[in-house]
Amino acid sequence: MTTTVEKNAAAPAGVLSAAYRALSIGLVALVTLTAFEAMAVNTAMPVVARDLDGLPLYNLAFSATLAASVIATVLGGRWADLRGPMQPIAAGVAAFVAGLLLAGLAPTMEVFVVGRFVQGLGAGLIQVSMYVLVARAYPPEMHPRVFAVFSAAWVVPSMVGPAIAGFVVENANWRWIFLGVTLIVIPSALLLWRGSAGRTDGDGQTQDDAEPAPALGRKLVWATLTAVAAALLQYGGALKTAGLPLLAAGLVLLAVALPKLLLPGSLRAARGLPTAPVLRGLAFGALTATEVFIPLMLMNERGMSATGAGVVLTIGALGWSTGSWIKGRGVIGNLVAIRGGAAMIAIGIAMVTLVLIDAVPIAVAYVAMAIAGLGIGVLHPTVSVLVLEMSKEGEEGANSAAVGVGESVFTVMAVALSGALFTAAGGSYLIGLAFTALLAAGAFLLAPRFVHAAAPGTMEGAAS
């Protein structure tokens, strides 16, 4: 009989080894394409709104996608647990393609918004179901490397997506940003389907173990209310002082609906798995809200060009990719990655704030974002891996969905509230960035409560 030591000593197969090549390429392709669309649309939206005479619906085109993804994440997580991951992935691909076609062929802004909503449904189903597919198709020792590749697949589009979208908008037509992706999504999905053959057969719960339909229906209602609350926060933050009533309404609605979607004990940071949605939401929200401030701050306070300010964010993206690669190599432990990652995000935010002082070289901003990027790069995939390891069989999708919802909602809250504080303080970058640094510090303090499971569903011992 093979001993535990012998198993641990065996080197895990490569993500692109022959046994996993088709599956891995298919997964990475879908992640990259959904990420590219999410990044590229930011560049194209001003032109879309102008061509379709739809400026009043500009923000709704973003909110619709967010709302749909929250709902689809809840549905897809449970669906993947009950029936295996391939059904919701197939449905997600179909919805994503349908949304791309609707958006790309939209004759009016109203149709475009509907297309964006359908895209959000597809992206939400795909992303959460992929977590379940990783849990069931790859051995546990490969999970860190798989999630490191996923992180890289998100980072690359963040660097090249806006540039490609700008080229397409200027030299062709914005519609090809949506229509062109459809030509690649379907072959990628077929490759994924081929690579997963035989790896998820028989997975999923039996009907006796399944969550009752009324319970799932209630979750979808709470997901819808949470999506509405997130949209209110997003609008409230964008409207500045006039949006304070919307911010208040969003926070109240969120306080009622969000706990129904997270894990029991999440909002009080109960030790173990329940801490995951809040911890990753605080860390990712802190960095995202900081990235909203950085271009504006560097251009207005230090006279940088838009291109130069964008390079600072690109450095952060490269740091993320590097951090994920380091964690995937297994050279640092889980607790060190999570707590150290949160600390690096907080340090990076503090350093970039120093650039407000004229005597501080601009180069500090580049170093700061490299550090923050490294931090999220080691933290983000580590949480993903531990959520799968801590989950009981058949609950990977539901738990991953809770983490996904928490990350999305806390990110919206971070952006909205930091923006509101920035405005209330008379345009003080110091106040806005101090708030995001506090969020990262909160993730640092919560990290020891998120510990490695000794067995599925148990929380014995600290993460290694």
Q: Is the pLDDT of residue 280 over 90?
A: yes
pLDDT of 282: 96
Class of domain 13-146+154-210 as given by CATH: mainly alpha
pLDDT of 453: 40
Of 104-113, 322-331, 341-350, the one with minimum mean pLDDT is 322-331
137 close to 80: Cβ distance less than 8 angstroms:
no
Quickly state the pLDDT bin for 375 (edges 50, 70, 90): very high
> What's the start-to-end Cα distance of the chain, in Å?
26
Of 185-194, 224-233, 246-255, 344-353, the one with minimum mean pLDDT is 185-194
Q: Say whether 48 sits in a helix, a strand or coil.
A: helix
Q: Is the pLDDT of residue 204 over 70?
A: no
Domain with CATH 1.20.1250.20 in the chain: 13-146+154-210, 265-464
pLDDT of 212: 54
State the average pLDDT over residues 289-300.
87
Give me the CATH topology for the region 265-464.
Answer: Growth Hormone; Chain: A; (1.20.1250)
State the average pLDDT over residues 153-175.
78
Quickly state the pLDDT bin for 443 (edges 50, 70, 90): very high
Q: Is the pLDDT of residue 54 over 60?
A: yes
Q: Is the pLDDT of residue 147 over 90?
A: no
* Cα gap 307→317, rounded to integer Å: 15
* Cα gap 280→259, rounded to integer Å: 16
State the average pLDDT over residues 362-375.
95
Quickly state the pLDDT bin for 11 (edges 50, 70, 90): low
**Which tens digits make up the pLDDT trace of 376-410?**
999 999 999 999 889 888 888 889 999 999 998 99
Average pLDDT, the chain: 83
Quickly state the pLDDT bin for 372 (edges 50, 70, 90): very high
State the average pLDDT over residues 197-211.
52
Quickly state the pLDDT bin for 461 (edges 50, 70, 90): very low
Quickly state the pLDDT bin for 455 (edges 50, 70, 90): very low
Q: Which residues contact 201 (CB under 8 A, 6 or more apart)?
A: none
Task: Provide the token pair at 227.
Answer: 């999506």
Q: Is the pLDDT of residue 166 over 80?
A: no
79 close to 396: Cβ distance less than 8 angstroms:
no
266 close to 406: Cβ distance less than 8 angstroms:
yes
**Which tens digits make up the pLDDT trace of 68-118?**
888 899 888 888 888 888 889 999 999 999 999 999 999 999 999 999 999
pLDDT of 456: 44
State the average pLDDT over residues 143-148.
86
Closest CA to 150 of 40, 31, 35: 31
pLDDT of 283: 96
Closest CA to 71 of 412, 414, 401: 401
Q: Is the pLDDT of residue 209 over 70?
A: no
63 close to 234: Cβ distance less than 8 angstroms:
yes
